[in-house]
A and B are shown apart, each in its own frame.
Chain A
Amino acid sequence: RKEVEQDPGPFNVPEGATVAFNCTYSNSASQSFFWYRQDCRKEPKLLMSVYSSGNEDGRFTAQLNRASQYISLLIRDSKLSDSATYLCVVKHEAAGNKLTFGGGTRVLVKP
């Protein structure tokens, strides 16, 4: 089983719709969670950290479910510019500076 798993997609989303997807992690000692966004042939960019109580940044909402060991990302009112690959990144305490990436979920927002 991979340490961090994501549905690769693509999620085809009508413009203005809501889309949500999850990321599961296998190490229960994981403590830091992030969503990164990566556009084609560009570098990953931090979208948001994921906090235990859940957090929101504009149209983006991230949740953490420690009991079931997954994090989620919800995008409301999808824009064409939201089309990208969303990478889940996880770190556990013993890993020091090593972060583990999921395989990414591709989202395509269409008019």
Chain B
Amino acid sequence: DTEVTQTPKHLVMGMTNKKSLKCEQHMGHRAMYWYKQKAKKPPELMFVYSYEKLSINESVPSRFSPECPNSSLLNLHLHALQPEDSALYLCASSQGSGAIGEKLFFGSGTQLSVL
């Protein structure tokens, strides 16, 4: 069982829709992440929030908009997506100190299909 909870598990949306992915953790972690994973590829980092501030944006298109309302919650707002954005979107968290050996804990992901 993962301690990082993501909703919804599956999402189908049209290119004109607006939707949001949600992520929650109660481990007291101060760093939270969004990753995108295509089939048979490794996860690709999109965003990192550290202590509720956006610390890394890996040049992600503006149709993806992250939000961190508090230290336990992370959202990813989606608007005007393209079919090639279809992928598994993974949320992860870590303690947030950036220390050596700090581990990532992943949620079970949202499988997104853009039609």
A: residues with CB less than 8 A from B are: 31-32, 34, 36, 41-46, 49, 87, 89, 91, 93, 96-99, 101-104
A98 touches B2 (CB 8 A): no
Task: Give the residues from 77 to 97 in chain B that come closer than 8 angstroms, CB to CB, to chain A.
Answer: 88, 90, 94, 96
B41 touches A103 (CB 8 A): yes
Interface size on B, residues (CB 8 A): 27
CB-CB nearest 10 A-B residue pairs: A101-B42, A43-B106, A96-B98, A97-B31, A31-B100, A97-B48, A43-B108, A32-B101, A32-B100, A43-B109
A49 touches B55 (CB 8 A): no
Considering the complex, give the chain A residue whose CB is closest to the CB of B108: A43
Residues of A within 8 A of B50 (CB): 96-97
